Chains A and B, each alone.
Chain A
Amino acid sequence: MHKTKRETKIVIFVMVFIAAVMPFILGTKNNYFINILISYCYYGIMAMSLNLLVGYTGQISLGHGAFMAIGGYTYAILTKTLGWHFLPAIFGSLVLTFLLGLLIGLASCKLHAIFLAMTTLGFSKVVSLIIINEGWLTGGANGFVGIKKLTVFGHRFMNYQLYFVALALTLMVALICYRLIYSKTGRAFQAIRTAPIAAASMGINVNGYKFLVCGISAAMAGLAGCIYALNINYLSADIFDKSSILLLTMTVVGGMGSLFGPIIGTLVIGTLPELLRPFAEYLDGIYGVVIILVVLFMPHGIYGGMKSLIDRKRKSDILSEVTP
């Protein structure tokens, strides 16, 4: 069994505590900050789902925003057009994104890195084209308007209450990721990323695991889409189209192949647009510069960079103790 270090547990506890008290510090009525906090939640889920796929299993997806879009739109259509209750609607969009993820999984069994990346990019373009052209279902280029706020037993959720729901879901996804990674399954994922041939010869069903991880990752993205729909109450294809690269930036900058990496990446990259409001038109360029800098100076992301700094400090501490 994997044992979590005591320091790590304390860090997690502090982070969750800060996340929980944040709305009360910033003010529960302050919709601007609450929306940013909720955006951390859905982007965090997306980054974790991408991390599972790209960071651990080595299957590159350039169109992960498409699954978020499918999740969001499915939720919107099921609740508004068909009048479903929100729970079955979320469940429905999870199932749909899971199945479509398996479809990409089929491709990932056949294709190598760069070709899979192209396929997923194509998939996301197809999804956004369908959304724009099938106006009767999705609202077309005008977007899907009037998604209902979360309402349970007649109680309409305030924005900060929705934040707690989103936070709980994010923590649940984090727990699932944690359990997947530190288990037989996670070891199989990592084995497939490093040496697929050796993995197959060790008794790992390589194609089976690739297939499954695509489904799981897509379903997580679908969940993020549901939260997005609940929060913004409005969906349009171009937001998701843009977000695929943004999400990859978060995952790479935070540190792929580690559990904390995507969370750090989300907090950093998710905050950038708010800090750089005056320079909004240069935002994509700034993302590019950030990616290049991180890849050059911290190949394992911010998390990896911090870790190696701490390790180096520990080593020098030990050395200074040994040498008088």
Chain B
Amino acid sequence: MSVLLQTSKVSMHFGGVRAVDLVDMSINSGAIHGLIGPNGAGKTTLFNIISGLYIPTTGNVIFEGKDITDKKPHEVTKLGIARTFQNILLFDQMSALENVMVGHHSRTDSTILGTIFHTPKMKKQEVLCKDYALSMLDFVGLSDFKNNNAGSLPYGQKRVLEIARALASKPKIIMLDEPCAGMNPSETDYLIEIIYKIRDFGITVLMVEHNMRVAMGVCDIITVLDHGKKIAEDVPDIIQNDQQVIEAYLGKENLE
């Protein structure tokens, strides 16, 4: 399998805090890659670095062999990296359908002048955009709610809508920040199904997950962060029994 996304020696310092410290991680294309670690381990910071919201203090992010460290968020999205947010960031006053259409933004090339003069090209693009958004809503099973305001949807559907919105940008890799947080078991099962569907669609998945049942069950490979450092990277079975990982989560056994 080829490497799709790679971080090499990435560090992010906020003043004296090393939120991410010299992290090397490579994600194979087609994999479901898990990123776990206790609170404050730097998982979301790493996401923000990859998606271009932060520029790392040192190190590089390499996507498909190209250095994307200094790229702006919208440029990163255009290259094929989409994401969701830990604290859901939907466009609340817009309908579910419009939210997903915003996700398709970087894949339509109509300009502001095109919209003012209503060129045939722009009209065609709008139709294509809407169709694509509808197919994404269908993909995650939210077709019935397309005209509802995003803000009025129940919590679980908001999370799913965020995934649909991210998928609308036709990504090569989708980064899910705690997709199962706050979900009940049946919603979680539904989400796992969606994650498998995304993978079968040919999109690589990088996910932060606190729910160990999900992380261990779904991921092909797991990277563990603790205090900004990578402490382990392996298949779930080995991670489960890794001494360092157990220590990071449960604390060191005091033998004295």
Which residues of A does B touch, CB under 8 Å?
A: 1, 176, 179-180, 183-188, 190-191, 194-195, 197-206, 212, 257
**B100, chain A: closest CB distance, angstroms:** 10
When chains A and B are docked, how far (Å) is the Cα of A194 from the Cα of B93? 8
**B89, chain A: closest CB distance, angstroms:** 4
**A57, chain B: closest CB distance, angstroms:** 13
Chain B residues whose C-beta falls within 8 Å of the C-beta of A199 in the assembled complex: 91, 102
Q: Is the CB of B51 within 8 A of A194?
A: no
When chains A and B are docked, how far (Å) is the Cα of A197 from the Cα of B177? 14
Chain A residues whose C-beta falls within 8 Å of the C-beta of B85 in the assembled complex: 197-198, 201
Q: Is the CB of B74 within 8 A of A204?
A: yes
Number of A-B contacts (CB under 8 A): 99
Chain B residues whose C-beta falls within 8 Å of the C-beta of A185 in the assembled complex: 112, 115
Residue B72 is within 8 A (CB to CB) of chain A in the complex: yes
5 contacts between A and B (CB under 8 A): A180-B115, A183-B115, A185-B112, A202-B74, A202-B102
Q: Which of B74, B90, B102, B103 contacts A206 (CB 8 A)?
A: B74
When chains A and B are docked, how far (Å) is the Cα of A183 from the Cα of B124? 12
Residue of A194, A195, A201 most packed against chain B (CB within 10 A): A201
Which residues of B does A touch, CB under 8 Å?
A: 51-53, 72-74, 77-78, 82-83, 85, 89-94, 98, 101-103, 105-108, 110, 112, 115-116, 118, 122-123, 125-127, 129-130, 165-166, 169
A190/B94 contact (C-beta < 8 A), A1-B130, A195-B89, A200-B73 known: yes
Chain A residues whose C-beta falls within 8 Å of the C-beta of B101 in the assembled complex: 184, 187
**B80, chain A: closest CB distance, angstroms:** 10
Residue of B74, B94, B106 most packed against chain A (CB within 10 A): B74
**B54, chain A: closest CB distance, angstroms:** 11
**A45, chain B: closest CB distance, angstroms:** 16
Chain B residues whose C-beta falls within 8 Å of the C-beta of A194 in the assembled complex: 90-94
When chains A and B are docked, how far (Å) is the Cα of A212 from the Cα of B116? 13
When chains A and B are docked, how far (Å) is the Cα of A24 from the Cα of B232? 82
A187/B123 contact (C-beta < 8 A), A195-B91, A201-B53, A206-B74 known: no
Q: Which of A184, A188, A195, A202 contacts B125 (CB 8 A)?
A: A184
A176/B116 contact (C-beta < 8 A), A183-B122, A190-B91, A201-B77 known: yes
Q: Which of B91, B98, B116, B125 contacts A198 (CB 8 A)?
A: B91
Chain A residues whose C-beta falls within 8 Å of the C-beta of B118 in the assembled complex: 179
Q: Is the CB of B89 within 8 A of A257?
A: no
Chain B residues whose C-beta falls within 8 Å of the C-beta of A195 in the assembled complex: 89-91
- B108: nearest residue on chain A (CB-CB)? A184
**A80, chain B: closest CB distance, angstroms:** 31
Chain A residues whose C-beta falls within 8 Å of the C-beta of B82 in the assembled complex: 201-202
Q: Is the CB of A197 within 8 A of B53?
A: yes
A179-B118, A184-B101, A190-B93 known, 11 other contacts, Cβ within 8 Å: A183-B122, A184-B122, A185-B112, A187-B94, A188-B105, A195-B91, A198-B90, A202-B74, A202-B77, A202-B103, A203-B169
